[in-house]
Structure 1
Amino acid sequence: MEIKVAKIEDLGQILDLQKACYLEEAELYDDFEIPPLTQTLHSIKTDFEKEKFLKIESDGKIIGSVRGFLEKETCKIGRLIVDENFRNKGLGRLLMKEIESKFDSAERFELFTGHKSGRNLSLYNKLGYSEFQKKRINEKLELIFLEKRNYKTANNNV
């Protein structure tokens, strides 16, 4: 299994996997109208025009994905997903490391997850991310924003 840059023809599979993965999040928050579940193929194609999508395949099937884009000096990372049958094998960590490497000129990396998403928070903390902001969305959901400095660029600026 190797991580590759996704192509536009991969978006249908990525969207299907995204919806399967985020169903767990929806159940956790009792909210089935979250954007990853309601996203359309048209919408993900629009995202694809401005974001870099990565994928991992096994036997020709996409089993993981993440995306990111650069906004000023910050790489915004989103929608890290891994097929439930391939979890706890380090694929999420590999996808995160690879998306960070694709934006190695960024000064920092930023992402968010829900406050009840313990597995996500644990992974991001292990990868060096730390909380910098909380944002209450509704009575069920508070988003936790996390960041990590890119020490490659920090050393270049010294």
Structure 2
Amino acid sequence: MKHEISETTDLTHCHALRRTVFIEEQNVSEADEMDGLDAEAIHLIATCDGAPVGTARLLIRGETGKIGRVAVLREHRGTGLGAAIMRQAEAALRSRPGVTRLYLSAQTHALRFYEKLGYSAYGPEYDDAGIPHRDMEKRLDR
């Protein structure tokens, strides 16, 4: 399986992937998922043989780059695609001037995945759209 990841301004596939993973699989409400922040974000799309299979959304808030809406179709999980999307997200944010910190809100079942990528959890567990989460961060070396 050869995956390719790139930035995109066409959100059709990003929204379809997020709908499949978050709304259909995880029962997140459409109102929670489609939060109105997409227009100001950087979007990544991952494809396999031309078909969309993963996505992520990046927001910049001052010196903090927020990585969110990381979604990989079930049949592509465990292939390394999620880690590849995260590396691409980090590279995209690292290339933006002034970004020194990466932040994400991790579903607690995925904490180990993000820890392996160098993120550290902080603060208490909290509920987001009915799913337990923890905040995580990673400092960028400049």
Please classify the TM superposition score into its range, dividing by the shorter chain length: 0.7 to 0.9
Matched, 1:131 2:107: no
Distance across 2 between alignment mates of 1:87 and 1:136 = 25
SS in 2 for 1:101: helix
Question: What is aligned with 1:156?
Answer: none
Aligned equivalents of 1:88 and 1:141: distance in 2? 21
Q: Distance in 2 between matches of 1:88 and 1:149?
A: 26
CA separation of 1:133 and 1:17: change in aligned 2, threshold 3 A: same
Structure 2 distance, partners of 1:102, 1:72, is: 15
Matched, 1:144 2:134: yes
CA contact (8 A) 1:134 1:142 kept: no
Structure 2: distance between partners of 1:21 and 1:47: 18
In 2: Cα distance, 1:48 partner to 1:24 partner: 21
> Deviation of residue 2 (structure 1)?
1.6
Distance of aligned partners of 1:142 and 1:83 in 2 relative to their CA distance in 1, 3 Å threshold: closer
Match of 2:81 among 78, 91, 97: 91
Take 1:143 and 1:74, find their aligned partners in 2: how far apart are those partners? 19
Tell me, in whole angstroms, the C-alpha distance in 2 between the residues paired with 1:21 and 1:124: 18
- Counterparts of 1:56-75 in structure 2 under 5 Å? 56-75=46-65
Deviations 1:108-153 (A, max 9, x none): 10000233xx1x2121011011111235348x544310001112x2
**Residue-by-residue CA offset, 1:2-50 (whole Å, 9 max, x unaligned):** 2111122xx2222121121113333xxxxx42622xx2xxx6xx53431
Q: Judging changes above 3 Å, is the alpha-carbon distance between structure 1 residues 103 and 20 closer, same or farther for their aligned structure 2 residues? A: same
CA change 1:81–1:141 in 2 (3 A) is closer
Separation (CA, whole Å) in 1 of partners of 2:138 and 2:12: 31
Aligned partner letter, 1:5: E
Q: Indicate yes or no: 2:33 matched with 1:33.
A: no
* RMSD over aligned Cα atoms: 2.0
TM-score by length of 1: 0.75
> What's the TM-score once normalised by structure 2's chain length?
0.82
Bigger-Rg structure (1/2): 1
- What is the count of residue pairs matched by the alignment? 134
Percent of pairs identical after alignment? 26
